[in-house]
């Protein structure tokens, strides 16, 4: 195990609810409404992919970029209201792994400026050697592009990486990158089907040792 790569939204930052609320607001202004479950299929994907798909499926009149900009504005209002909230135990996990001399990276579909702001706000930005954004790759999750870019920048074999994800698209991206996937099943949210090699619902017991042991088991099976 040469590197540990984190998704951000839903893994480090408790942000999925803010995306749902912001998108619902944009759709309401356009005279559209969807079930909450509809948003789930876009978890882990890029902003542009999300709105290009929604534009097509919901027959929205404006360019996708216009809806992206409106969603970002609405989400900023939510952040101003609620602040940037870390996932329970995430800060401690990152600090623990950094103290254990693990090589850490972030591979997120969010814009780079948003990733940097969020990680700086909760005080863990400096622990990551590499940060990659969905803006930097051609294909959104579940394609492996953003994870492969992270491995390339780290200078490690993707097969020697462990990645933490919380969404079906994200976990599939990890598997498509030929990495071991640790799925985070947040007990505060509805259960999702994750393409994971190991699923956890708490970060409290994760250490370099437990991850290395699970990675060794994973390698032995594969």
Asked which of 60, 82, 104 is the last residue of a domain, the reply is: 82
Asked which of 35, 67, 82 is the last residue of a domain, the reply is: 82
**Do both 133 and 52 map to the same domain?**
no
* Average pLDDT, integer, range 31-51: 88
pTM, 2 dp = 0.87
Give the DSSP H or E segment for 162: strand 161-165
**Do both 120 and 217 map to the same domain?**
yes
Residue of 103, 100, 120 lying closest to 155 (CA atoms): 103
- Active-site residue identified among 9, 14, 24, 145: 9
Contact 131, 115 (CB under 8 A): yes
pLDDT for residue 175 = 98
Q: Any catalytic annotation for residue 201?
A: no
Q: Any catalytic annotation for residue 9?
A: yes
Q: What gap in Å lies between CA 70 and CA 78, rounded to an integer? A: 13
Number of domain units in the chain: 2
Query: pLDDT by residue (tens digit) across 167-188?
Result: 999 999 999 999 999 999 998 8
Query: pLDDT by residue (tens digit) across 51-103?
Result: 999 999 999 999 999 999 999 999 999 999 999 999 999 999 999 999 999 99
Domain range for residue 63? 16-82
Q: Is residue 130 scored above 90 in pLDDT?
A: yes
């Amino acid at each position: 195990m040469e590197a540990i790569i984190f998704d951000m939204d839903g893994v480090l930052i408790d942000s999925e609810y803010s995306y749902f609320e912001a998108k619902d607001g944009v759709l309401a202004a356009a005279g559209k409404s969807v079930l909450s479950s509809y948003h789930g299929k876009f978890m882990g994907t890029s902003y542009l992919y999300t709105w290009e798909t929604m534009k097509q499926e919901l027959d929205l009149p404006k360019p996708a970029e216009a809806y992206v900009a409106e969603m970002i504005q609405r989400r900023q209002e939510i952040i101003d209201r609620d602040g940037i909230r870390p996932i329970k135990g995430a800060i401690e996990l990152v600090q623990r792994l950094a103290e254990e001399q693990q090589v850490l990276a972030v591979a997120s579909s969010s814009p780079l400026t948003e990733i940097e702001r969020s990680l700086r706000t909760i005080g863990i930005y400096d622990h990551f050697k590499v940060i990659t954004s969905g803006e930097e790759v051609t294909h959104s999750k579940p394609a492996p592009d953003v994870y492969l870019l992270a491995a390339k920048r780290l200078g490690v074999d993707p097969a020697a990486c462990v990645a933490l994800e919380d969404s079906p698209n994200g976990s599939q991206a990890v598997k498509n990158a030929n990495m071991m996937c640790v799925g985070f099943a947040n007990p505060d949210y509805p259960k999702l089907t994750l393409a994971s090699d190991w699923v956890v619902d708490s970060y409290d017991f994760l250490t370099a040792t437990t991850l290395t042991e699970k990675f060794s088991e994973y390698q032995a099976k594969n």
